[in-house]
Structure 1
Amino acid sequence: MQGGEEPSKSRPEEALPRARARAAALALGGARRAAGQGWPLPSLGALAGRLAAALARELDDRRGFLFLPIGVSAGAGLYFGAPHEPLPYVALLPAAVLIGIAVWAREKPFAFHLFALLAAITAGFALASLQVQRMAHPVLGEQLNAAEITGFVEATEHRPRGSRVTVLVTTFPRPLVDAPRRVRVTLAGRDPPAVGSHVRLRASLGPPPGPAYPGGFDFGRAVWFDGIGATGYALGRPQIVPAPVIAPAGLALTTWLDGTRHAIAARIRAALPGEEGGVAVALVTGLRDAVAEPIEESMRVAGLSHILSISGLHMALVATTVFFLARALLALFPDLALRYPIKAWAAVPAALSATFYLLLSGAELATQRAYVMTLIVLAGIVLGRPALTLRTLAVAALAVLALTPWAVLDPGAQMSFAATLALIAAYERYGHFVTTPPGTAEDAVWLRRPARYVAALVLASLAAGLATAPYAAFHFQRLAPLSLIANLAAMPAVSFIVMPAGLVGAVLMPFGWDDRAWRLMGWGIDLMRDIADFVARIPGADRGVSAMPMASLVLLSLALMALCLSRTRLILLAPVLAILALWIAAREPRPDLFVDGEARTVAVRGPDGALAVMGDRTSGLADRFAVEQWLSADGDRARAGSKELIQAAACDPLGCTLPLVGGALVALSRHPDSLEDDCRLARVLVTPFTAPSECAATVIHLDPRKAGGGVAGYRTEEGELRLVSANAPYGGRPWQAAPPRVATTNAAARLQPITGAAQAGKPAVARATARSRDPLDDMVGESASERPANAPQ
């Protein structure tokens, strides 16, 4: 019996499998003792029997429905992980067959649940395939320089430097099969055109970038699901021009919502200028553009970044407040309160307010999960049934996966569902410790409520922190070991000052009396920021970890499911799966070579075991985004931006070199004139240019005009460098624009060190007199259309 549950009498048919399992276990123990064997480790047959008995107990408790979202998400994950694009309808027939078999075997519980789970997996695969086919859109295949486009502005975003707009294209420079429907363009100015306006701009466009390294986050796939087929930067300012076509129907709603969000943001900033105003705007409207990077970073380190993400806490506060306000207003009329179900009526404005907040905040996947759960809870109130259960979460997960199956890949959605699952399971099992804390006397009422709050806060922080830690380690390569301390200190300010003041300010805004509420909210935010800064400065608060393989994340996710959903000895699978996941992660090799998708930046693991960087230019090299991603994957984020990253590289105007472990050289070509020496002196050559066919080095040739991600190299026991591309083998995946662009003249590089004068001088020094200035400087001042086709972008 779990904590907080009422004991119930089992029906005879429910107790039968348990009685049989107990009898089998007693018989096995008696046989062991009769044979004089004592209690040795059980055999595989005995383990299988115990596992079957535990599984029968789980099925008797009617918890099979909770595993349906796991099966659907597993099927969606299998679809997105396929190296080649499956046939669009290939999984429909197996899903229908498995559903039929499950219905046919419904009288046999084990067979029914097994085939139902298999049907859920194939249904998730089919659902993901159909949804991707439904929203399929072209991706620009290669770089376009100085392309003039026109389109409607659908979204704007302020950046640390400049701004960014998403444009629904109306005219493209020339007819292309892969002409994108939407493009995302970075602007130099901080004042982007308004949402809904029709603009003309000149921009350099290219395919969305792929992962920075194999196994890294696929930025191109992520923006593809936002409907974007090309990214780039504008050349000059966009101009407002008349539209040649009628604006889409949904653009009017988008324009109104954007205007509302920015009007609220302007009102908040007027009353609360500075960094506190930026955080307040993010909490109320979801616009995180004005959140200062130091605040966001300290909140990440302290484990408080979940406060800035609009999800369960914010949605629950909005819906709950509106619900109780509506119910209180209806209760003022005795005739209504006595004759009609005003509690059910109050759920309607609560649902409408939650819907408006979903649209206002941008409808991210975590917010969608919170919204669906809020609607289910409100529906439970209308029907008079408890709704905040694991079944509620299961229904919410199925709804989100049905609408957006790619949520299985989204870090925010993964962490949101994991935290909610852990919270509900923790309160089901240990909620009685919160409602009745031990050590409080019956007459000490004034002590009971603070003790309950502290106990609930500790339980929530531990459950959510432990549940989201694997996903933070996998996606962001960081842990927040002091998050419990930060949440215990900051959440009272957030729960009792920041969020209530924000809600009061939003309610009073139409009446013009919101200034005091925003100032009170700013005081709470300032307190929260001081707590985050204090915790972030504690040594060891920011714990970086190396990149984790996908297999480890899957095993840790299964461990979380076993821990939260099991009520029998199946819960013992959780530590076994977790240990196996950590063992696999510890054995994961670290790359010795990183190359970005444009062959502009290279990182090499030197003899000291640390990464060093070289690039097509020296200025700003250590601050490049790819370098930050590589250092994060290496568990060495603290060195990001450090000048020591580029000190080991030997560079001349034609290229750079760095030594690998063992002395073999990796060369990066800056100009075609360097290729002859690089092929002769280096073991690995990275170049955006076409290398000679007789080149003796292993050539990594990446065409910057084509789409794709980075490349990593791993040292083998035989002393070779095994190259792995971040692009999956090309099979026509909808978010891939072109085949992988990695061409190597050798299958693997022999990494024996070079000898003689070449080793001492290095290619870069040997070429130093060949050219006295950087060839890329010759391109300064040229227009993008005049730049050579093979020049690095």
Structure 2
Amino acid sequence: MGTGSGSEEGTEEGTAGRARPGRARALAVASAPRIPALTAAGTAPGLPWLRLLGGQAVAQWVLRELDDRRGFLFLPVAFATGIALYFGAAHEPWAYGGLVPAGLFGVFAVLARARPFAFHLCVLLATIAAGFAVASLQARRIAHPVLARTLQAVEVSGFVEAEERRSRGSRITLRVTHLGREIADPPERVRVSLASGDPPPVGAHVRLRATLGPPPGPAYPGGFDFGRAIWFEGIGATGYALGKVQLVPGPEPPAGLAFAAWLERSREAIAGRIRAVLSGGQGGIAVALVTGLRDGVPETVEENMRVSGLSHILSISGLHMALVAMTVFFLARALLALPPELALRYPIKSWAAVPALFAATYYLLLSGAHVPTQRSYVMTLLVLLGVMIGRPALTLRTLAIAALVVMVLTPWAILDPGAQMSFAATLALVAAYERWGQRLMAPSGTTARRWTLRPVRYVAALALTSLVAGLATAPFAAFHFQRLAPLSLLANLAAMPVVSFIVMPMGLLGSMLMPFGWDGPAWRAMGWGLDLMIGIADSVAALPGADRGIATMPMASLILLSLALTCLCLLRTRLVLAAPLLAGAGVCVFLLARPLDLYVDSRARTVAVRGPDGALSLMGSPSTRIAQRFEVAPWLSAEGVRTVSAADLTQAARCDAQGCTLTGPDGALVAYSRERGSLAEDCLRAELVVTPFEPPADCAATVIHVDAWHQLGGLAATRMGPGEWRLSVARPGGETRPWLPPSPEVGQILLAPTRGVDPAARSPGKGASAEPVAAGRASAESESEDGGDARDGEPDDDEQRE
């Protein structure tokens, strides 16, 4: 299970111009078009277009990259580009449309084999088209209905396919067998939150009464789309149960449900045994590492692990899969080496890879087979297959193949933050160890000197791993979670030896000893290691500057930084200098990005306004649990704010029973009308009015009217000038994608002033005073709890919209 630096595969991925073994060279010449030789002037004949990119030197660098067979490593990048083009389309493309350009460019590539650059260009374009086609076809394959409108107190029956215990209650995923209301295209699966912390088991057929609605959209434009994410899990509606869940007889269960039920029982049995020995944070983390069930991890422990940069330990991915496979591999190899005759006559190293492969497969299924775990499993599978046939395979090509396999099976994985960070970290680590690993770990000197330097080399390798992985994943953490962990290197240096040598080996040993009843000592040893890890996380999280918030990064910045990482890891010539240029461009785009001045939730009950000082203030109903968790928290996170509470941000608002007002950018007055009777006055005095009601035809203000029954995503606006606001919507009207509800209605209207009013007359301190609007309005603390909700009657259940 080595790195493969001495193999033919690793040699092919070395620096440009490195000598290859004769067989590998022959295969390379036979399988690809011949790269034209450089002329005396330093350029390749027939490639004048390269001079436009920087002259003869660029041509030479490109030739050396292609001659070193590194073009294959860019195929996953091209494939992911095609998938991204599919998800970025404004409407659903023809499912088979991508096959046409993919086939054409494939034919062109075959015809252009004698012209290397044309060949590689056609292959690149064909791969992009193939990614687009695969994403379209996979979306068509799993297409299922999305609930179009909210259903109040509807009876639902179905098989429990998944259950999850949470800090407040639980939730289940039902495969619907009966919906007690006749609607067109009922959802096939629904996710329902339960008040009880004891959900029905997987495989049971249940009946319950619930309020269901379409899956929610992003909290703000550019935010994470929960509705799209769970649509790819097969879920077409979410909601909450009313009353108790009843176990009732059902029809024939669907295929595969019996296996899922057995697997869930196995997970619960292992989790129960661990909890019988370990309690509190120890037991919750141990269960998460062994079975993938994270519901028992205390929120304070999980938050401290995020702040300290150790949260990757809780997500089963490459580290855990490698430790499981490696432990089983070396244990099996040691047992097979006990009989000398067996060790001398047979390939016990290849034999040892078989139980390691079975252990990795079982761990994949037991942990839930999430996308990072899938990537880790594919890479582990390739490495073990390489061991079986005598070829180490832990190279960049292994990662490229693993990426292609995962994207073909689950194209939506490119949207998953965990998958992005997992691939980025693995890419950086493999590239770093291909360049410096041999030099760092190669033995040198006498035997005594080698043993003396082993601890130093281990610490150096651990520091390199933590630093490289942290830098590679930082842009993705900043984009998705708006946070950085600057002290993660310190935390990982202290915690990873504990995880690698105590926690995971004892977890594997406990799982193996469980059938014999001797797993208790292993769990207790694992708990001791977890205590050390939790202590390290708490200590690092308590240090000043451990948690750094960062404002939302534009998508363009993430793309540029991702390309910079790709160039830095895959290129070997001076073309790698494109990496700092791309990174610099990404940072510039981030620094020049203009922040949003206004946030509005999809139900028009909470509004955030950027004041003249640049800080956000709230008006509406930010004190409710659902508003704080699903609306205010994402907005504050997008601003890079970590410690300010929603209650503190309502002090500046002037509110009464009919609505609120706030002073916005450049002193512009923003009004929130929660009652229809306040619209006339707000239209007269405010520059911008946010309301769930239809505004009067002669309203002088710019109005954002939010239709709370049809809008499924947040809204935002930026003030471009006096009386001019630019609106952006998380889910614009007119989009026709399979994960969106079928309603064609636009849930918001942006109206320009309908009669001439001087904007200065509506702005506080610029003419007419804004005080008449605020007169009689009490402080934010006196506003009603429901905030004039457009959907009166729904409880404030913070699980409802998850």
Match of 1:8 in 2: 19
Q: How does 1:63-78 map to 2 (within 5 A)?
A: 63-78=70-85
Is 1:674 the equivalent of 2:674? no
Is 1:656 the equivalent of 2:660? yes
Between 340-349 and 1-10, the greater mean CA deviation after superposition: 1-10
Secondary structure of the 1:238 match is strand
CA distance in 2, matches of 1:341, 1:323: 13
Q: 1:432 to 1:18 in 2, by over 3 A?
A: farther
Question: What whole-Å deviation, never above 9, does each CA across 1:43-64 have from its counterpart, x for those lacking one?
Answer: 9758243222111101101111
**Which among 401, 410, 415 is matched to residue 404 of structure 1?**
410
Match of 1:30 in 2: none
Instruction: Assess if the C-alpha contact under 8 Å between 1:315 and 1:371 holds in 2.
Output: yes
Q: What amino acid does structure 2 have at the position aligned with 1:190?
A: G
CA distance in 2, matches of 1:665, 1:718: 11
Question: What whole-Å deviation, never above 9, does each CA across 1:88-121 have from its counterpart, x for those lacking one?
Answer: 1111111000001011111221111111001000
Between 613-622 and 507-516, the greater mean CA deviation after superposition: 613-622
Match of 2:141 in 1: 134
Match of 1:592 in 2: 597
Q: 1:218 to 1:710 in 2, by over 3 A?
A: same
Instruction: Assess if the C-alpha contact under 8 Å between 2:291 and 2:367 holds in 1.
Output: yes
- Aligned-residue sequence identity (percent) comes to 60
Q: What amino acid does structure 1 have at the position aligned with 2:460?
A: A
Question: What whole-Å deviation, never above 9, does each CA across 1:171-228 have from its counterpart, x for those lacking one?
Answer: 1122222311111111122122221111212222111111111111111111111111
Instruction: Assess if the C-alpha contact under 8 Å between 1:3 and 1:431 holds in 2.
Output: no
Q: 1:642 to 1:22 in 2, by over 3 A?
A: farther
Q: What amino acid does structure 2 have at the position aligned with 1:611?
A: L
Q: What amino acid does structure 2 have at the position aligned with 1:702?
A: V
Instruction: Assess if the C-alpha contact under 8 Å between 2:660 and 2:777 holds in 1.
Output: no
1:518 positional shift: 1.0
Q: How does 1:496-515 map to 2 (within 5 A)?
A: 496-515=501-520
Instruction: Assess if the C-alpha contact under 8 Å between 1:622 and 1:642 holds in 2.
Output: no
Secondary structure of the 2:239 match is strand
Q: What amino acid does structure 2 have at the position aligned with 1:137?
A: H
Match of 1:35 in 2: none
Match of 1:605 in 2: 610
Instruction: Assess if the C-alpha contact under 8 Å between 1:58 and 1:566 holds in 2.
Output: yes
Please report the TM-score for the alignment, with normalisation by the length of structure 1: 0.91
**Which among 363, 369, 386 is matched to residue 363 of structure 1?**
369
Q: 1:421 to 1:591 in 2, by over 3 A?
A: same
Instruction: Assess if the C-alpha contact under 8 Å between 2:690 and 2:705 holds in 1.
Output: yes
**Which among 626, 632, 655 is matched to residue 627 of structure 1?**
632
Q: 1:233 to 1:763 in 2, by over 3 A?
A: farther
Instruction: Assess if the C-alpha contact under 8 Å between 2:670 and 2:688 holds in 1.
Output: yes
Match of 2:771 in 1: 761
Secondary structure of the 2:643 match is helix
1:266 positional shift: 1.0
Instruction: Assess if the C-alpha contact under 8 Å between 1:185 and 1:233 holds in 2.
Output: yes
Question: What whole-Å deviation, never above 9, does each CA across 1:565-598 have from its counterpart, x for those lacking one?
Answer: 1110111010000001111111111001001111
Match of 1:161 in 2: 168
**Which among 42, 56, 59 is matched to residue 24 of structure 1?**
42
Q: How does 1:395-434 map to 2 (within 5 A)?
A: 395-434=401-440
Please report the TM-score for the alignment, with normalisation by the length of structure 2: 0.90
Instruction: Assess if the C-alpha contact under 8 Å between 2:16 and 2:68 holds in 1.
Output: no
Match of 2:7 in 1: none
CA distance in 1, matches of 2:18, 2:107: 37
CA distance in 2, matches of 1:131, 1:487: 38
Pairs aligned (count): 767
Q: 1:707 to 1:240 in 2, by over 3 A?
A: farther
Secondary structure of the 1:637 match is coil
CA distance in 1, matches of 2:680, 2:208: 41
Q: How does 1:493-642 map to 2 (within 5 A)?
A: 493-616=498-621, 618-620=623-625, 623-639=628-644, 641-642=645-646
Instruction: Assess if the C-alpha contact under 8 Å between 1:4 and 1:431 holds in 2.
Output: no
Q: 1:339 to 1:779 in 2, by over 3 A?
A: closer
Match of 1:143 in 2: 150
Match of 2:751 in 1: 745
1:159 positional shift: 2.1
Question: What whole-Å deviation, never above 9, does each CA across 1:687-740 have from its counterpart, x for those lacking one?
Answer: 223333333332222222225211111121566211111114523111111344
Is 1:715 the equivalent of 2:719? yes
Secondary structure of the 1:759 match is coil
Secondary structure of the 2:696 match is coil
CA distance in 2, matches of 1:21, 1:272: 71
**Which among 470, 474, 483 is matched to residue 478 of structure 1?**
483
**Which among 265, 286, 291 is matched to residue 292 of structure 2?**
286
Match of 2:5 in 1: none
Secondary structure of the 2:244 match is coil
Match of 1:694 in 2: 698
**Which stretches in structure 2 are left out of the alignment for 5+ residues?**
1-10, 45-49
Is 1:62 the equivalent of 2:72? no
1:637 positional shift: 2.3
Q: 1:746 to 1:441 in 2, by over 3 A?
A: farther
Instruction: Assess if the C-alpha contact under 8 Å between 2:763 and 2:770 holds in 1.
Output: no
Secondary structure of the 1:559 match is helix
Between 644-653 and 571-580, the greater mean CA deviation after superposition: 644-653
Match of 1:39 in 2: none
Q: 1:649 to 1:444 in 2, by over 3 A?
A: same
Q: 1:779 to 1:554 in 2, by over 3 A?
A: closer
Is 1:213 the equivalent of 2:220? yes
Secondary structure of the 2:704 match is strand
1:23 positional shift: 4.0
1:615 positional shift: 1.8
CA distance in 2, matches of 1:717, 1:696: 16
CA distance in 2, matches of 1:25, 1:781: 70
Instruction: Assess if the C-alpha contact under 8 Å between 1:201 and 1:235 holds in 2.
Output: yes
Secondary structure of the 2:206 match is strand
Instruction: Assess if the C-alpha contact under 8 Å between 1:614 and 1:621 holds in 2.
Output: no
**Which among 81, 105, 108 is matched to residue 112 of structure 2?**
105
1:310 positional shift: 0.4
- Aligned alpha-carbon RMSD (Å): 3.1
Secondary structure of the 1:131 match is helix
1:268 positional shift: 0.6
Match of 2:182 in 1: 175
CA distance in 2, matches of 1:86, 1:170: 31
Q: What amino acid does structure 2 have at the position aligned with 1:683?
A: E
Q: 1:763 to 1:101 in 2, by over 3 A?
A: same
1:267 positional shift: 0.7
Q: 1:719 to 1:668 in 2, by over 3 A?
A: closer
Match of 1:223 in 2: 230
Question: What whole-Å deviation, never above 9, does each CA across 1:399-448 have from its counterpart, x for those lacking one?
Answer: 0011000111111111111111111100010113321489x876423322
Secondary structure of the 2:436 match is helix
CA distance in 1, matches of 2:348, 2:91: 55
Q: 1:105 to 1:145 in 2, by over 3 A?
A: same
Q: What amino acid does structure 2 have at the position aligned with 1:248?
A: P
CA distance in 1, matches of 2:787, 2:580: 58
CA distance in 2, matches of 1:763, 1:447: 77
Q: 1:44 to 1:534 in 2, by over 3 A?
A: farther
Match of 2:729 in 1: 725
CA distance in 1, matches of 2:732, 2:19: 53
1:147 positional shift: 1.6
1:779 positional shift: 9.7
CA distance in 2, matches of 1:21, 1:486: 54
**Which stretches in structure 1 are left out of the alignment for 5+ residues?**
27-42
CA distance in 1, matches of 2:14, 2:92: 47
Q: How does 1:190-205 map to 2 (within 5 A)?
A: 190-205=197-212
